[in-house]
Amino acid sequence: MEGVDHLADERNKAEFNVDDMKIIWAGSRHAFDVSNRISRFVATDPVFEKSNRALMTRKELFKNTLKKSVYAWKIIKELRLSDEEGIKLRIFMDQPGFLDLHWGMFVPAIKGQGTEEQQQKWLSLANKMQIIGCYAQTELGHGSNVQGLETTATFDPKTDQFIMHSPTQTSSKWWPGGLGKVSTHAVVYARLITNGKDHGVHGFIVQLRSLDDHSPLPGITIGDIGMKFGNGAYNSMDNGFLMFNQFRIPRDQMLMRLSKVTREGKYIASDVPRQLVYGTMVSVRQTIVSKASDALARAVCIATRYSAVRRQFGSENGGIETQVIDYKTQQNRLFPLLASAYAFRFVGEWLKWLYTDVTQRLEASDFVTLPEAHACTAGLKSMTTSATSDGIEECRKLCGGHGYLWCSGLPELFAVYVPACTYEGDNVVLQLQVARFLMKTVSQLGSGKAPAGTTAYMGRAQHLLQCRSGVQKAEDWLNPSMVLEAFESRALRMAITCAKNLSKFENQEQGFSELLADLVEAAIAHCQLIVVSKFIAKIEGEIEGKGVKKQLKNLCYIYALHLLHKHLGDFLSTNSVTPEQASLASHQLRSLYSQVRPNAVALVDAFDYTDHYLGSVLGRYDGNVYPKLFEEALKDPLNDSVVPDGYHEYIRPLIKQNFPSAKL
Ligand SMILES: CCCCC/C=C\C/C=C\C/C=C\C/C=C\C/C=C\C=C\C(=O)SCCNC(=O)CCNC(=O)[C@H](O)C(C)(C)COP(=O)(O)OP(=O)(O)OC[C@H]1O[C@@H](n2cnc3c(N)ncnc32)[C@H](O)[C@@H]1OP(=O)(O)O
Ligand SMILES: Cc1cc2nc3c(=O)[nH]c(=O)nc-3n(C[C@H](O)[C@H](O)[C@H](O)COP(=O)(O)OP(=O)(O)OC[C@H]3O[C@@H](n4cnc5c(N)ncnc54)[C@H](O)[C@@H]3O)c2cc1C
């Protein structure tokens, strides 16, 4: 029935004020207002219609993305939207495109690595979108191993230019978003060579296409790398390839904030760490963590609303059947994902703070916290995107058969989201960076240098290596210090075991290679500890709103205890908990599920997503699922005619068995 709220009963059950929770989810009243206003604006503007994109050809989809992106930019300018509003507009537009790379990587790379002069020149063009840029780092042969990139930038002192060259096929740039068809410029990462000496990978601003007719400049071969996973989905983006044939750029287009090449060709390295050349990746990894909570929340919102609408079995005497959300198995799969969405939100907020702090320190030439910022952004990017990808797929299964329909919104969400496990650093490669950081921290224990920040717990190694969990009854698992201690001792003991095993090898790098799998597990345990500890810090802080804190506490303990359950092998093998304590945790988890159950629909309403953004018949706010599934089915082009195309060619001859005679 149109206009009826089929989920009204669910909403009436809520034991907290949803509007207050909306503010907590958004981060502040102001952030909520912006998000709410911009999402409704996008939802009602026909240019941002997106329901038809799965049926578009690649070319149609690409052109449609251009139209939306340019329209979004026009709105940003005409309505004088702030940066925050502009980013929200892009998010709710919900179609990957060149704007993401221009604003998300090209502009930040120039800001982070360009001199003031370079920033003035290039940012004034980029900020007005008079040039469009992308981030061209990855090559056909190397993505993870940035030091292995092959593109060269050789200084020619005669002309005061760099010669950009792709010496092999594998040195072709391959993957950069926006490169294939749109970008006029790129920040290109290449090996800097002066006087025959290789100084490693540096960034260069390179014009790729004519600003008059968009044709590639002589010496440049460029194109799109082809279709990617899924219909619609990430195919709106023109990920591209690029080869240079002795292509020349002026010397002042090397990004020279971190190191310089003089007119004479002298290379001057500054005294800042060389890793700052990777700074743009650190900044994007930080934003990816908050985006993980967004994507997971979308999937969970769809699966929760649909689980409340869907009924199977349990009818007695022809009465009403059971809502599938009432099955404990459904709760055991769904509620930890709901809790994870909130957990990633809060750790994302904290990571933003950490990133802002390290940026301010770097500006003051304080590099002390850089390794921790790198480890946290890398590890949390890895952990949250892996959990979110798996979570979206789980939500699809939670919706049964209908979850597999395109109009459930889940297949496309998965297809768009899953490359997050790869871009901005393969998730395993990133956890190995965390592992290196942990091994270094462990090796310094006892040296008088106290571990700080997220590794401060390692400073209590003596206690954490010996302690036994004090949990005696199920409710003890609602005690934050007991939960934290279990996660800390598990993480520390895993790291120390790795360090001990490493020390058995004469050659540390060989040992590291042998122990890669264990090291990744230890890194994940450390990252999970960070997320749990930041969630606990959140619920221990001031939280306004009727009943809100209670709900967040429930979600926090669900998050922690489901991790304990999932990684029980780690907790038991490190003696961080006993089998009896683990079974008390399962008991507590079931009780928490029962407490969350009446609040589940309201907890996903707090995300404040519009039906447009969700793009899901199953996740509709009003729960009016079945008539809308029919409507969607009838829109399919196969239903344009009752008798399909091909009937006379194939079906009729088959039924009548009158094929032209086959020859072998
Ligand atoms: C209308 C408005 C619209 C607005 C739109 C707005 C917003 C959109 C916003 C953003 C976009 C958001 C999301 C993205 C969406 C889509 C995706 C699109 C783009 C994707 C882009 C990319 O993928 S770019 C390419 C990314 N590539 C990688 O991530 C490569 C991964 N590899 C590496 O990072 C490194 O090579 C490495 C870390 C794995 C190894 O490096 P190496 O130098 O070999 O290091 P070592 O292992 O030898 O270590 C040396 C020491 O350096 C330390 N270290 C390494 N990295 C860093 C670092 N980044 N920072 C600090 N320190 C680092 C390392 O720990 C070692 O230290 P020690 O010596 O002390 O041990
Ligand atoms: C949708 C999408 C958008 C992208 N956009 C951009 C962009 O805008 N600009 C850009 O420059 N790049 C971009 N990329 C490229 C992306 O950053 C790389 O694909 C990514 O960094 C992974 O590198 P790779 O492809 O070389 O993977 P590989 O490193 O080849 O990984 C293959 C396998 O090897 C494993 N592996 C690799 N090294 C190790 C190791 N040391 N130890 C253990 N296992 C290892 C990995 O875990 C993985 O399982 C994009 C990629 C995608 C999918």
Return the SS3 of 651. Answer: helix
pLDDT (0 to 100) of residue 663:
67
pLDDT (0 to 100) of residue 316:
80
pLDDT, one tens digit per residue, over 464-504 is: 999 999 999 999 999 999 999 999 999 999 999 999 999 99
Distance from the Cα of residue 548 to its chain's centroid: 27
pLDDT (0 to 100) of residue 528:
98
Higher pLDDT, 315 or 394: 394
Q: Give pTM, 2 decimals.
A: 0.97
Residue 542, exposed/middle/buried by CB under 10 A (0-12, 13-18, 19+)? Answer: exposed
Ligand 2, closest atom to CA 138?
11
For ligand 1, atom 36: residue with the closest CA: 146
Percent of the chain with pLDDT over 90: 94
| Ligand 2 centre distance from Cα of residue 427 (Å) | 9
Can you spell out the DSSP letters for 160-204?
TEEEEE--SGGGSEE--TTTTTT-SEEEEEEEEEETTEEEEEEEE
CA distance 539 to 535: 6
- Which residues on adjacent β-strands are paired with residue 193? 154, 198
Ligand 1, closest atom to CA 433?
65
Q: Is the CB of 439 under 6 A from ligand 1?
A: no
Residue 2 predicted with pLDDT over 80: no
Residue 272 predicted with pLDDT over 90: no
pLDDT, one tens digit per residue, over 517-534 is: 999 999 999 999 999 999
User: What is the phi/psi pair of residue 271, to 5°?
Assistant: -90, 10
Q: Is the CB of 104 under 6 A from ligand 1?
A: yes
Is there a binding annotation on residue 400? no
pLDDT (0 to 100) of residue 197:
97
Given a contact cutoff of 8 angstroms between Cβ atoms, the answer to whether 495 and 458 are in contact is: yes
What is the crossing angle of helices 83-93 and 58-78, to 10°? 160
For ligand 2, atom 26: residue with the closest CA: 143
User: What is the phi/psi pair of residue 640, to 5°?
Assistant: -65, -35
Instruction: Considering the candidates 139, 393, 424, 488, report the single residue annotated as catalytic.
Output: 424
Mean pLDDT of 93-112: 97
Task: Categorize the per-residue pLDDT at 1 as very low, low, confident or very high, splitting at 50, 70 and 90.
Answer: low
User: What is the phi/psi pair of residue 230, to 5°?
Assistant: 90, 155
| Helix segments in 276-369, DSSP class H | 279-309, 328-363
569 to each of 383, 554, 582, how far by Cα in Å? 18, 24, 10
Instruction: Assess whether 117 carries a catalytic annotation.
Output: no
Return the SS3 of 131. Answer: coil
Residue 260 predicted with pLDDT over 80: yes
pLDDT (0 to 100) of residue 529:
98
Domains for the chain: give ranges and CATH numbers: 111-271 (2.40.110.10)
Is there a binding annotation on residue 138? yes
Hey, what long-range contacts does 113-118 have (CB within 8 A, 24 or more apart)?
A: 113/187, 113/203, 113/255, 113/257, 113/258, 113/276, 113/277, 113/279, 113/280, 114/205, 114/255, 114/256, 114/257, 115/255, 115/256, 115/257, 117/252, 118/205, 118/252, 118/255, 118/256, 118/257
Task: Categorize the per-residue pLDDT at 662 as very low, low, confident or very high, splitting at 50, 70 and 90.
Answer: low
pLDDT, one tens digit per residue, over 309-334 is: 999 998 888 889 999 999 999 999 99
Mean pLDDT of the chain: 96
**CA atoms within 13 A of residue 123's CA, in its CB half-sphere:** 17
pLDDT (0 to 100) of residue 232:
85
Residue 99 predicted with pLDDT over 80: yes
Task: Categorize the per-residue pLDDT at 270 as very low, low, confident or very high, splitting at 50, 70 and 90.
Answer: confident
User: What is the phi/psi pair of residue 45, to 5°?
Assistant: -95, 120
Ligand nearest to the backbone CA of 73 = 1
Ligand nearest to the backbone CA of 240 = 2
Candidate of 146, 287, 361 to mutate for ligand 1, largest count of ligand atoms within 8 Å of Cβ = 146
Q: Is the CB of 138 under 6 A from ligand 1?
A: yes
Give kind and range of the element (H or E) at residue 518.
helix 516-540
CA distance 140 to 149: 9
Within 6 Å (CB) of ligand 2, which residues are found? 101, 135-138, 142-144, 175-177, 234, 239, 419, 422-423, 425-426, 428-429, 432, 516
**CA atoms within 13 A of residue 352's CA, in its CB half-sphere:** 12
| Ligand 1 centre distance from Cα of residue 497 (Å) | 28
User: What is the phi/psi pair of residue 229, to 5°?
Assistant: -45, 125
pLDDT (0 to 100) of residue 7:
97
Distance from the Cα of residue 341 to its chain's centroid: 12
Ligand nearest to the backbone CA of 229 = 2
pLDDT, one tens digit per residue, over 577-608 is: 999 999 999 999 999 999 999 999 999 999 99
pLDDT (0 to 100) of residue 664:
62
pLDDT, one tens digit per residue, over 612-660 is: 999 999 999 999 999 999 999 999 999 999 999 999 999 999 999 877 7
Reported ipTM: the value is 0.97
pLDDT (0 to 100) of residue 446:
86
